[in-house]
Amino acid sequence: MEKLIVNGGKKLKGNIFVSGAKNVALKALVAACLTDEKVIIKNIPLISDFMVMVAIIRELGGEVRIEDHIATVQMKKFKKKKISLDEGAKIRTSAMFMAPLLARMGFAVIPNPGGCRIGARPIDRTIKGIKALGVNVRYNSKDGYFYLRRDENKEKEWKKVIHKFDKSTHTGTEIMILASTLFNGETVLKNAAEEPEIDELINLLTAMGAVIARTGRREITIDGVSKLHGATFTIGPDRNEIVTFAIAAILTKGDIFVKDAHSVDLEALVEKLESAGGGIERRRDGIRFFYKGPLRKTDVSTSFYPGFMTDWQGPWAVLMTKALGESMIHETIYESRFGYVKELRKMGAGISFFNPKIDDPEKIYNFNLADRVPDYYHAIRVKGQTKLHNAVVEISDLRAGATLVLAALSSQGESVVFGVEHLDRGYEKFEERLRSLGARIKRIKN
């Protein structure tokens, strides 16, 4: 077990690069398995989640070579159709391998996916979509596996499949795109997710020979092809990392220039930061984030793209502890994503839970209402102008990890942060990069 020791109260200043987007890199590995040729992926983040996906590819019979931040992937032939329960339980994106397995082998055995504890996160929307493609799906509750078989006779019955997602699903949209590239005929996805990471995946698949286009508002059309080929692709900057460093700058009354941040759509964050009084300077080669004076309370409600990301609400809660007044954060994507609140309270944060009155919850909330536990809360109030102090805290999930480190950096005294393995899932050498900005932080092995 490892822990972080953080001595807060230091202004963070300097220039920094961010890693390639985690939510593109993991999906790019899956896409690479759709062809038997080599796919070269540049600017990969060297994080534990990426390495888990690499291990799954190797387990399935593929080859992956990593040099610096470049991965060369080649799945000449699948040697297995089943992903082990151990690997699948580590990461939710393991379920995405159903797409290349179905496309190339016609059969897939996928464990019910694991991942961070931030809600039920069922894959029912994905399964519904896969069935629309003529795939037979059976779930065995005894062994925890989905058994999926492609029915080519059903495929021959149609030339066009139109599938509308009941609610927005980032992963479901990506799996349907991946699966449809090598399926017969045309597939039209309606109410498809719009996240820019999905467009990056589309760009990679297009470079591999797929025929995919956004054909309308929240609509994607895929014309199936018989074969894909190799390609070279460079991943863009990670939005979540940019936001982490942006808030770190303002929270610690510092000044951080994030290189290449201008190439990513951060408008939902920038709008809120400007409303709160944070300093932002757009430059030709990046964005400077800095403290320029007292912060104002600013409410946020999470949403799918182009709204305020659910991954940003934890760091935002820490920022609002420094603002004048009481702020509100309303979570609409996951039914349970305030696991960090208990830990922030240990550090002196004044945070209370509540459930807003919603006239049409089915329309507002993107999670399945049937999965909601009666005592779950979907919003918090954050008391501003609170002096956080040191504490011993435990990370419960990836984004909660960044939240607690930010809180420790902005507080007085020495804090101890356990559960560092969660941070390693999405941040490469996080503490080293923070130290380059002046943070007093170190990792210790117990």
Of 26, 116, 192, 439, the catalytic one is 116
Q: In what order do the strands lie in the sheet with 13-16?
A: 13-16, 255-259, 286-290, 279-283
SS3 56: helix
Residue type, 315: P
Residue 52 · residue 64 · CB < 8 Å:
no
State how far the Cα of 309 lies from the Cα of 331, in Å rounded to an integer: 10
Closest of 279, 241, 236 to residue 402, by C-alpha: 241
For residue 97, what is the DSSP state?
G
Residue 116 bears catalytic tag: yes
Residue 208 and residue 231: Cα distance in Å, rounded? Answer: 5
Q: What is the distance between the alpha carbons of residues 53 and 385, in angstroms, rounded to a whole number?
A: 42
The angle formed by the CA atoms of residues 413, 417 and 302, to the nearest 5 degrees, is 105
- Residue 425 and residue 398: Cα distance in Å, rounded? 7
Quick check: 109 and 87 in contact, CB under 8 A? no
**Using CA atoms, how far apart are residues 290 and 281, in angstroms rounded to an integer?**
8
Task: Decide: residue 284, CB within 10 A, 0-12 exposed, 13-18 middle, 19+ buried.
Answer: exposed
Which active-site residues does the annotation give?
116
